Amino acid sequence: MTGLRIERRGALMILTIDREDRRNALDSATSAALDQAVDEGERDPGVAVLILTAVGPRAFCSGMDMKEAAANGPGSGLIPGRGFGGITQRRRTKPLIAAINGAAVAGGFEIALACDIVIAADHAVFALAEVRHGMFAFSGGIQRLARMVPRQTALALILTGEPIGARRMVELGLASEVVPAADLLDRAIAIGEMIAAYPQEGVRNAKLLHDLAADAAIDDSLRFGRAWGEATLDGEAIRAGIAAFAGPKD
């Protein structure tokens, strides 16, 4: 038994962490199941978008399962080469939407930072709490904050472990939007279905180019984008999209 529910809804794969009694902390089994589910979603041509959320209003994910870590040693929830939950160090081709239903703490915050779109319930809070326990967020949290927000803002989060609210996350550009808790999953599904309805070659290429551009110098990413874009301009999906936009001929 693992603490993960998997649901298919059309072209969406919805992954729900189900360990509410442990504040949805990831033990080794649930982390492995999540890693495997993302693998399956990446391979399945019928899946266009993945959504990750959790049960209950208290927590999205409170990081590693500390009881398991105390019994077996630290590192619970880490997948070699893919990071916490099999997500924080993984390169993905398909969009992953986080629906943050409560506290995203430590590894839970790192997972949120690794997702492509983050929808947060209005009561959600976020914290990199590792420093309070003599650790640090090495599985992507510190590295992504260093790229996403100014130095002083990042270090205040990293070195104090103090929580911030969902609206502050949006102000910092770390979350996409805030919605009432009752609307959270519906909003994530609506965004997922919107993306899934588009020609998927364009979606994949747009995500890949963004991720490459984020890691490259601007001149390199502009040259690559131009060359790649020109190579795809004659594709069937692009021709169909232009024709549909232009409307019927006179």
CB 28 within 8 A of CB 66: no
How far is 33 from 96, CA to CA, in rounded Å? 16
- Is residue 115 helix, strand or coil? coil
* Residues tagged active-site: 110, 130
SS3 for 166-233 is: HHHHHHCCCCCEEECHHHHHHHHHHHHHHHHCCCHHHHHHHHHHHHHHHHCCHHHHHHHHHHHHHHHC
Residue 73 CB: number of other CB atoms within 10 A?
A: 8
Nearest residue to 87 (alpha-carbon basis) of 146, 41, 151:
41
